[in-house]
Chain A
């Protein structure tokens, strides 16, 4: 199925076999669905003296969509940003615990956040294309990461994967900012694909979009899930129910700290949650 991304994905699959827990060998290439891509343990995040996220443990499955839901301020985005070390950019943020990516701690010694972010791409809440051409928006990330192949072909592949090619193929030289909000967000997804990640993090990617654009993004995510591991933060419970395979419910503890309440298959979380707080949130009694 992943014809277009076949060439350069192989090289990544090989080079990530660095963690001690990974046994090298071709059989590992086809990871079983049960092997988590990301393993988060005892994650605590502080902003200055404020304890924002407390004792989060979770596994994130390969080639599946995991949705983070929960009320505002419960640390969903903070946990998401720990995965590719975007919290490094906030001077007051401090992260404790481990986030293992294919068995390797992303915060470990000698791990370059630049390399982490190339493997674990990100799409933000508000579409933020560069004030450059559509072509350049996609090409830039590949170029700075030393992509050796044909850039124009790669741009086309990524735009096709992001379901945007048909709408922009005649105006690749136009500014990325000339597109509509929904198109801009799909451009941002295409841009993230161009660095050849295997995990894509999306922080409320549809919250600034209209319902039709939202639907397009959701359809796109379902298609991408065949080849990528996707983690999406969403305020919209219907969206989580529609799009995700796994759902993680965060809430606030009595001390106003973000905590993980329950995680499980989306089907089960929405029909038969184990925790009364999850049920209360999903049925709309709070949050």
Chain B
């Protein structure tokens, strides 16, 4: 018995197969490269199909003018401002609600079947079709809470739509804070709130903001729920207060692609370019904010 154990350590018991292992290793490297390349090619094709028809129609008055029946005069000023209002409003609302939920679930709630049930449901909510949120918004915010087809109703609807993303990413960020930090804090006689406020949130904050940024990107391109809540009608002025009616960029694009004149197809492509630029600006602002906070906490 004991001799066979000793023999197992002899080199004749090993087959290193170095060649096969190296080939396999290279194989997987190319598989992963190919999937990255495929994604980039698809993105390139998408950009190409938008830039070619859209670029010639991209002009200053597309940004400054209001919608019109004449393609050469039509702009999307009201839609740009409507999108900014709705996205910023929903970002603020979902940040407050989502962060509160995440803090409660991670730091305060007992880990039992109920919280597991709630967690599963929040994850499921992220997969509910967005039109359902639109119908919810129509019933609850527009009618029941009497907000009408306003910026406020749109922002609330969008906030509910992106809430699961914000909650899930904020929970991940809070969970990633090392427990040694919490222990150090409690060990000094800190209360739960002092621990959360001074140690957990500052460390988790950049991660939480990342979730909000992702959620904002989703919200700025979302169309379906706002068709229900905002109505697809043309709005010829930019919103001046949260109770004003509004128009958003994806709706404007949707509206233009549905027109019979071919010029509007080009105008829609140009509008998509504008949407992407606005998205980039909003995201850069949020990323700048995140860098500012993570530098402050990294010290």
A→B interface (CB under 8 Å): 84, 86, 89, 91, 114-118, 121-122, 124, 126, 128-133, 140-141, 144-145, 175, 188, 191-192, 194-195
Contacts and interface: CB of A to CB of B under 8 A. Distances in A.
Interface in B165-215: 178, 180-191, 194, 198-199, 202-203
A192 B188 contact: yes
Nearest to A140: B198
Given A130-B181, A131-B203, A131-B297, A192 B187 contact: yes
Interface of B: 110-111, 178, 180-191, 194, 198-199, 202-203, 297-299
Contacts of A133: 299
Nearest to B297: A131
B152 to A, nearest CB: 39
Contacts of A188: 184
A93 B111 CA distance: 14
A195 B199 contact: no
A133 B240 CA distance: 45
Contacts of A131: 181, 202-203, 297-299
Contacts of B202: 131
A contact patch SS: mixed
B contact patch SS: helix
Given A91-B111, A124-B187, A131-B181, 5 more contacts: A86-B183, A117-B186, A126-B180, A129-B184, A195-B188
Contact of A132 (B189, B191, B299): B299
Nearest to A137: B184
A131 B205 CA distance: 13
Contact of A191 (B186, B188, B203, B297): B188
Contact of B180 (A91, A115, A124): A124
B189 A195 contact: yes
B291 to A, nearest CB: 16
A122 B183 CA distance: 9
Contacts of A91: 110-111
8 contacts: A86-B186, A131-B203, A133-B299, A140-B198, A144-B198, A145-B189, A191-B188, A195-B189
Given A91-B110, A91-B111, A144-B194, A130 B187 contact: no
Contacts of B186: 86, 89, 117
B190 A144 contact: yes
A84 B187 contact: yes
